[in-house]
């Protein structure tokens, strides 16, 4: 991806972003034949993620946080592992990546799989505010 991105000038980048934004967003579906229980992940999302990604995972332009639905579940899992393992969000010049990386650094494989499964439920309308700590 970096090799391709390096070939794009500012104009092509803007054009590619505009094209991507115009594509229909299809809610994330599960590719896991045995999705794990998501109760703890729902609570984790409410406690630790929705402050930046919004309660419905739509992302927030002000925080520059990504929408968390509209991509495939395996992609979420791969990104969370990359953040956790220092492949993403570890560059000192990266302002946005560390926000998720600092949380992902504490996640086990099982918690990442559960969060990935939960993000499928979120994409299909689950409301994590129901389990918010008061
Ligand atoms: C302090 C704000 C903040 C918090 C808290 C946070 N994130 Fe993020 N997240 C971001 C930002 C900003 C980005 C875009 C980062 C980048 O450009 O690498 C992002 C990116 C991501 C991505 C990559 C999306 C993609 O399309 O590549 C995933 C997955 C993600 N976050 C999941 C989570 C989960 C799950 C949690 C809770 C455990 C969480 N984030 C907590 C701000 C946050």
Cα of 3 from ligand 1 centre, angstroms: 23
CA angle 114, 117, 119 (to 5 degrees): 110
**Could you tell me how far CA 82 lies from the centroid of its own chain?**
12
State the pLDDT confidence band at 134, using cuts at 50, 70 and 90: low
Cα of 82 from ligand 1 centre, angstroms: 12
45: left (phi over 0), alpha (psi -120 to 50) or beta: alpha
**Could you tell me how far CA 100 lies from the centroid of its own chain?**
9
Cα of 15 from ligand 1 centre, angstroms: 24
Instruction: Verify whether ligand 1 is closer than 6 Å to residue 117 (CB atom).
Output: no
Q: Note the pLDDT tens digit of each residue in 29-62.
A: 999 999 999 999 999 999 999 999 999 999 999 9
Rounded to an integer, what distance in angstroms lies between the CA atom of residue 41 and that of residue 47?
10
pLDDT at 133 over 80: no
CB proximity list for 132: less than 8 A, separation 6 or greater: 46, 47
Q: Note the pLDDT tens digit of each residue in 104-128.
A: 999 999 999 999 999 999 999 999 9
pLDDT for 57 = 97
Helix segments in 1-134, DSSP class H: 2-6, 10-22, 39-44, 50-53, 73-84, 97-104, 109-123
Query: Two tokens at 129?
Result: 């505010």
State the pLDDT confidence band at 1, using cuts at 50, 70 and 90: confident
May I ask the CATH class of domain 26-131? mainly alpha
Q: Note the pLDDT tens digit of each residue in 63-102.
A: 999 999 889 999 999 999 999 999 999 999 999 999 999 9
Rounded to an integer, what distance in angstroms lies between the CA atom of residue 108 and that of residue 40?
13
CA-closest residue to ligand 1 atom 1: 99
Q: What DSSP designation does 65 have?
A: B
State the pLDDT confidence band at 132, using cuts at 50, 70 and 90: confident
For a mutational test of ligand 1's pocket, the pick from 23, 92, 99, i.e. the residue with the most ligand atoms closer than 8 A to its C-beta, is 99
Cα of 8 from ligand 1 centre, angstroms: 25
Nearest atom within ligand 1 for CA of residue 97: 18
Closest CA to 114 of 31, 27, 39, 28: 39
Rounded to the nearest integer, the mean pLDDT of the chain is 95
What would the mean pLDDT of 9-13 be, rounded to a whole number? Answer: 96
């Amino acid at each position: 991806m970096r090799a391709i991105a390096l070939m794009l000038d500012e104009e092509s980048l803007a054009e590619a972003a505009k094209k991507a934004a115009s594509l229909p967003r299809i809610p994330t579906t599960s590719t896991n034949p045995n999705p794990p229980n998501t109760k703890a992940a729902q609570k984790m999302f409410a406690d630790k993620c929705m402050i930046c990604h919004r309660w419905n995972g739509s992302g927030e332009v002000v925080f520059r946080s990504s929408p968390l639905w509209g991509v495939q579940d395996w992609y979420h899992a791969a990104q969370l592992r990359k953040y956790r393992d220092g492949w993403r969000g570890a560059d000192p010049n990266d302002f946005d990546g560390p926000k998720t990386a600092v949380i992902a650094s504490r996640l086990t494989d099982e918690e990442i799989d559960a969060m990935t499964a939960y993000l499928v439920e979120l994409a299909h309308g689950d409301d994590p505010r129901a389990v918010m700590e008061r």
